[in-house]
Amino acid sequence: MAAGRTPGAAPDGGDVPPSVRHLLVDAAARTLGDLDAALVPAGLQRVRAFAPRRRATAGAAPLWRALLDDAGFRHAVAVAWSREHDPAPGAPQPSGAGDAVEPPDAAPCRTDDETTPAPDVTGSAGETAGAPGTPAAVREAAAGAFLLRPDGWETAVERARALDEELSSERSARAETTRLRRERDQLAARVDELRTALREAAARADAATAEV
């Protein structure tokens, strides 16, 4: 969790890793297409008019901003997410997950007294993406936690961020290893060329000496 943040407060967008943000924006784009026109936030009216495949790309910035700033829209996306991912019994769900989405003004607000178990990123939240604990599962758990806001949800987001940083470091290390091996092979080839040239020069010198 970012320093100085009040538990349950709206997150800074920079705290959510790009991989999780991508999942959230995709979910928001799908939800926007199914949302009643009267419930669409003003900033997303134009995005809703986009073709379905364009919403998550051309409308990524306003969709993400709405997820951060509009509790009603985030609630609608959370309801749709819960239906799509079929959470296990007892898993945190948004109020009204089984009912029609309410207007933003009527969306329930989470209070400090409402506590639910922290999401387990190795649990059922990521089963649709692969075995528990895989990167895909961790990212889906983080996306679900961001939307559903159980107590301690920031931990799941932080875990996904740390995982992405670790994977990025590993990719960088592999790329650097590949680069060094390529340079080594190039240097070895150059050494072989120089040795061949040296042998040929020595042979010519020997031949010239023999003719004298």
Give the model's pLDDT for residue 113. 39
Q: What is the token pair recorded at 66?
A: 């709405």
Cβ proximity of 51 and 87 under 8 Å: no
Per-residue pLDDT, 170: 83
Q: How many other CB atoms are found less than 10 A from the CB of residue 173?
A: 10
Q: Which residues contact 63 (CB under 8 A, 6 or more apart)?
A: 25, 28, 29, 32, 44, 47, 55, 56
Q: What is the pLDDT of residue 171?
A: 84
**pLDDT score of 46:** 92
Does the pTM of the predicted model rise above 0.85?
A: no
Per-residue model confidence as pLDDT tens for the chain (212 residues): 444 444 444 455 668 999 999 999 999 999 998 888 888 999 999 999 998 889 999 999 999 999 999 999 999 999 999 998 865 444 556 654 444 444 444 444 343 333 333 334 333 333 344 566 788 899 999 999 999 999 989 998 999 888 888 887 888 888 889 899 999 999 999 999 999 999 989 888 888 887 76
Which pair of tokens denotes residue 157? 């987001």
Predicted pLDDT of residue 111: 37
In angstroms, the CA 125 to CA 193 distance is 58
pLDDT in tens, 124-176: 333 344 566 788 899 999 999 999 999 989 998 999 888 888 887 888 888 88
pLDDT value for 109: 38
Q: How far is CA 48 from CA 4, 53, 82, in A?
A: 35, 11, 21
